[in-house]
Amino acid sequence: MTNRREKIFGTGLLIAFIILAVSVALHSDWVNAFDSSVTQLMANAYLPLNTAIFNIVTFLGSPLTVIILTALLCVWLFFKKQVMTSLWLGGIQLSGSAITEIVKQVVARPRPINQLVPDTGFSFPSGHTFCTTILVLSVLSLLLPKIHDEENKLVVRLIGIVWIGFVAVSRVYLRDHFGSDVLASVILATGYWLLCAAYEAPITSFIQRFLPERMKSL
């Protein structure tokens, strides 16, 4: 994707997120209808095995777990002498997570009732889904340039998409989020990632000004 397309698509996704956030805050009928439809789809899926599986998925996709995995990835990149990439990916994850928390406080949407796994805080958007989406996009940005076969690239992309889907579904299944919460998180994370990628050069140039000379050469 070209720099121009990243800017256009990223901006479009952020606008879509803002529209969805405002609709949620105003309790719009179409949001309630969407959430009800998603909840009904889950109605026949409640089985002990599914609950056990989604408990594991939601743990692996939790913000804490994902941030730890991101930190390990950044440390590995640092020791591979890819300092700017390490700082870049870590910065996107941490700043994005902070934005998500701010939005939660502003929208202040209560979580669904009858949670299978009790969770605290507000519901919109889903921190699990946001952080997982950013991590998947980070890993893809590192892997895809090294893969030359288009079919293998497609497989890797599909694996990433499926994992994001699993984490999103687990949050709705466990009644910790509404369908619109996880949808909004995917939209926000993807839009944020694309805009960060579009402006990577000027941002990294700004960051390099504050790095020690020894690190600038890595």
- Please state the three-class secondary structure of 45-93 as a single string: HCCHHHHHHHHHHHHHCCHHHHHHHHHHHHHHHHHCCCHHHHHHHHHHH
Name the DSSP class of 145.
G
Check: pTM over 0.85? Answer yes or no.
Answer: yes
Percent pLDDT > 90 in the chain is: 68
CA distance 191 to 19: 14
Query: pLDDT at position 127, please?
Result: 94
Q: Which range (81-95, 100-114, 165-179) has the least confidence?
A: 81-95
Residues 112-153 have pLDDT tens digits of: 988 888 888 899 999 999 999 999 999 999 999 898 888 899
Query: pLDDT at position 214, please?
Result: 57
| pLDDT (average), residues 32-39 | 94
For residue 111, give the nearest of 97, 127, 99 by alpha carbon. 127
User: What integer best gives the mean pLDDT of the chain?
Assistant: 90
| pLDDT (average), residues 24-41 | 94
